[in-house]
Amino acid sequence: MPELPEVETVARQLRPALVGATIQRVLVKDQKLSDLLAWELEGCTFVDVTRLGKQVVLSVSSGSQAAYVAVHLRMTGRLIWDDGTPLRTVQFQQAALQRPPIEKHLRAECVCSSGRLSFFDPRRFGTIQVTADYESLRPVGLDPTTEDFTERALVKLLENAKQPIKQWLLRQDRLVGLGNIYASEILFASRIHPERLGAALVTDEIKQLRLQTKRILARAIRHCGTTFSDFQDSTGSVGGFQRYLKVYNREGEPCPRCGALIERIVQQGRSTFLCRGCQQ
DNA sequence: GGGTACCTGAAA
DNA sequence: TTTCAGGTACCC
């Protein structure tokens, strides 16, 4: 589920709730996450929640000791804070369309003084890593929401890109944070055909690519990672479902820009959506 | 680089 | 029943 904006949203929403809470007990329900137990997290206090790439990083400390719990949600992970007030499971809008999390999918839990932080993950792809070295968690790819994502930097990264641009955008060792949905959306907004080779893009296209990447990510973050729906009302109405997405999951629908039918192609085993009218 | 594997559940 | 899923580590 989560690409950069969704992970950013989770981090932002958890931060104020979690900071200051002290961990009393750590429960691990899924053996794959048992590394968690090797750390003495009981007694530690949450001091920050940040995002690194697509990971949510929970910073904890106990006296002078610091540790960092890096949670990668992969496809279906969810981090939910429950402090007894009405449960805000709506972390980002896609989540609002999911069922509420169920006990069967609870993989790990952190019981705190003021509430509990639960990690749900039906598909069990999610990972949790703990380290004392924050820098070791930093991804190699460039974060496109930072100032370092300049036109020059993108030009440089694309110089040797022998892959189709869509596949290249998904590489976390180049840019971090994009996933299958935003990659299609960004290429549509940039009017670049997803099968163009990265190294073949011309200056104007690279300009657009950078601009649209920044624009789309910023807007998505502003909307709390509202990738799929634009539901605003508390009734949970999904009338505006998918209004935000221009091409993703819209095969056969008319392109909102030129009216041509949106197509779905498969690249490296994954769906890409495009408009041939707009993306030559 | 390109398939395949990892898992489970929802939808076709 | 089959296919698909917003991610990535691992194999050749």
- Nearest nucleic acid nucleotide to A125, CA to C1' distance: B7
Residues A49 and A82 in one domain: yes
Report the nearest residue to nucleotide B2, CA vs C1': A268
pLDDT tens digits, A135-168: 999 999 999 999 999 999 999 999 989 999 999 9
Residues A185 and A99 in one domain: no
How much is the average pLDDT of A94-99?
54
On average, the pLDDT of chain A sits at 89
**How far apart (Å, rounded) are the C-alpha atoms in residues A74 and A6?**
11
Residue A15 CB in 7 A reach of strand B? no
Residue A75 CA, nucleotide C7 C1', distance (Å) = 6
Band the pLDDT of A91: cuts 50, 70, 90: very low
CATH number at residue A255: 1.10.8.50
Q: Is A279 among the domain residues?
A: no
Residues A123 and A33 in one domain: yes
CB of A63 within 8 A of CB of A155? no
Closest CA to A130 of A51, A77, A70, A79: A70
Task: Pick the last residue of a domain from A112, A137, A162.
Answer: A137
Band the pLDDT of A51: cuts 50, 70, 90: very high
Residues A85 and A208 in one domain: no
Report the nearest residue to nucleotide C9, CA vs C1': A125
Residue A230 confidence (pLDDT): 40
Residues A119 and A161 in one domain: no
Q: Is A238 among the domain residues?
A: yes
Residue A173 CB in 7 A reach of strand B? no
Residues A12 and A116 in one domain: yes
Give the residue with greater pLDDT, A1 vs A73: A73
**How far apart (Å, rounded) are the C-alpha atoms in residues A265 and A52?**
31
Residue A35 CA, nucleotide B2 C1', distance (Å) = 32
CATH number at residue A24: 3.20.190.10
Residues A118 and A211 in one domain: no
Q: Is A117 among the domain residues?
A: yes
Residues A9 and A109 in one domain: yes
Band the pLDDT of A226: cuts 50, 70, 90: low
Strand C: which of residues 75-94 in chain A lie with Cβ below 7 A?
Answer: 75, 92, 94
How much is the average pLDDT of A185-189?
96
Residue A227 confidence (pLDDT): 53
Band the pLDDT of A93: cuts 50, 70, 90: very low
Longest dimension (CA), chain A: 61
Owning domain of residue A92: 4-137
Q: Which long-range contacts (CB under 8 A, 24 or more apart) does A142-148 make?
A: A142/A174, A142/A175, A142/A176, A143/A4, A143/A53, A143/A175, A143/A176, A143/A177, A144/A4, A144/A175, A144/A176, A144/A177, A144/A178, A144/A210, A144/A213, A144/A214, A144/A217, A145/A4, A145/A8, A145/A177, A145/A214, A145/A217, A145/A218, A145/A221
Does pLDDT of A242 surpass 90? no
Residue A135 CA, nucleotide C9 C1', distance (Å) = 21
Residues A191 and A168 in one domain: yes
What is the count of structural domains for chain A?
2
Q: Give the rounded percent of residues in chain A with a pLDDT score beyond 90.
A: 80
> 0.95 cut: is pTM over it?
no
Task: Pick the last residue of a domain from A137, A164, A180.
Answer: A137
Task: Give burial (CB, 10 Å; 0-12/13-18/19+) of A188.
Answer: buried
Residue A180 CB in 7 A reach of strand C? yes
